[in-house]
């Protein structure tokens, strides 16, 4: 079997730890049973020996499949990693969701997305990253007890993501540690109202108001200060047709949404201004992880 798990972009400005969407950039893992376990990696991490000795996907897969049927068999894992590490595009969430879903499938259990999502919460307590990898599209998420509750909607095919990917990674834990311990009432109300309005814009497909809706007062500027060029990324994006320009997850990637007929020009403007960064145009994924036999 082969599982494809999409990249995700979390927070989306004011939706701190609650809003996210899925992108058509996939990590691909093929798994076959064999006598001796083996790991082969193509793409991101292929040069890291540690990933073959202590692989998170394999560890979570083995833990999950053992909990389901009590068996620990040997498998050949072929990884094609397309999602950059530590760039705010959900590489760790792709690993977690993919490993759990694959284990359920190979163990012969029904792969129920709500079950996979709640199992993933045990490894990643930020649902804005794992939920889009499971459901696809735009997701609004809350955690109650040990469960994630999600509302989702598809994104129109004429909306494209133009993603700026710096070569400098950002550590999520360190980035979060730099955030303020306290916020003012005004900052909290601003984020609550903008996150609610942003959700409504996506659900009603009112994409023209995304710029207003995506204003954040809690985390973006603090995180962007670690890589000051990101402030200029937002300026250039809005000057060249972006509907919404936000830090992707904790960074360092920047998510820009625009209409299909503006995507190429926006990407060219960003690439011209930031030649050291990678700029890619991606479709929105509306399906979440996909398993093929």
Q: Which residues pair with 138 in a beta bridge?
A: 21, 153
87 annotated as belonging to a binding site for a ligand: yes
Start-to-end CA distance of the chain, whole Å, equals 4
- Secondary structure class of 176 (helix, strand, coil): helix
> Do 58 and 20 contact (CB within 8 A), yes or no?
no
93 annotated as belonging to a binding site for a ligand: yes
86 annotated as belonging to a binding site for a ligand: yes
Write the burial class of residue 280 (CB in 10 Å: 0-12 exposed, 13-18 middle, 19+ buried). middle
Planar angle of CA 24, 25, 29, nearest 5 degrees: 120
Kind and range of the H or E run holding 165: strand 159-165
> Do 162 and 256 contact (CB within 8 A), yes or no?
yes
CA–CA separation, 205 and 55 (whole Å): 40
- Scan for tokens 């809706």, then name that residue: 213
92 annotated as belonging to a binding site for a ligand: yes
- Secondary structure class of 249 (helix, strand, coil): coil
Peptide bond into 252 cis (omega under 30): yes
Q: Tell me which long-range contacts 116-122 makes (C-beta under 8 A, separation of at least 24).
A: 116/289, 117/148, 117/150, 118/146, 118/147, 118/148, 119/64, 120/93, 120/96, 121/146, 121/147, 121/148, 122/146
88 annotated as belonging to a binding site for a ligand: yes
127 annotated as belonging to a binding site for a ligand: no
89 annotated as belonging to a binding site for a ligand: yes
91 annotated as belonging to a binding site for a ligand: yes
- Scan for tokens 């735009």, then name that residue: 138
79 annotated as belonging to a binding site for a ligand: no
147 annotated as belonging to a binding site for a ligand: no
Could you tell me which residues are annotated as the binding site for ATP?
A: 84-94
Could you tell me which residues are annotated as the binding site?
A: 84-94
């Amino acid at each position: 079997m082969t599982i494809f798990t999409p990249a995700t972009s979390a927070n989306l400005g004011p939706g701190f730890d609650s809003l996210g969407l899925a992108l058509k950039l996939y990590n691909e893992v093929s798994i076959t049973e064999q006598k001796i376990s083996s790991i082969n990696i193509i793409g991101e991490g292929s040069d890291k020996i540690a990933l073959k000795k202590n692989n998170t996907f394999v560890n979570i897969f083995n833990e999950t499949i053992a909990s389901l049927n009590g068996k620990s068999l040997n498998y050949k894992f072929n990884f094609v990693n397309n999602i950059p590490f530590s760039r705010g595009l959900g590489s760790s969430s792709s690993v977690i969701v993919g490993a759990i879903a694959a284990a359920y499938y190979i163990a012969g259990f029904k792969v129920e997305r709500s079950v996979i999502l709640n199992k993933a919460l045990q490894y990643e307590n930020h649902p804005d990253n794992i939920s889009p990898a499971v459901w696809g599209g735009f997701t609004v998420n809350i955690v109650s007890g040990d469960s994630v509750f999600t509302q989702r909607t598809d994104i129109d095919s004429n909306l494209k993501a133009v993603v700026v990917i710096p070569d400098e990674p950002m550590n999520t834990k360190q980035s979060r540690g730099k955030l303020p311990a306290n916020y003012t009432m005004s900052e909290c109300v601003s984020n609550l109202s903008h996150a609610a309005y942003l959700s409504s814009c996506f659900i009603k497909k009112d994409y023209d108001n995304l710029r207003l809706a995506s204003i954040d007062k809690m985390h973006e500027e603090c995180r962007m200060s670690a890589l000051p060029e990101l402030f200029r990324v937002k300026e250039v994006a809005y000057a060249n047709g972006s509907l919404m320009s936000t830090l992707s997850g904790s960074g360092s990637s920047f998510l820009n949404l625009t209409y299909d007929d503006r995507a190429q020009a926006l990407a060219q403007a960003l690439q011209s201004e930031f030649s050291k960064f990678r700029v890619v145009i991606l479709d929105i994924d509306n399906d979440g992880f996909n398993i093929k036999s």
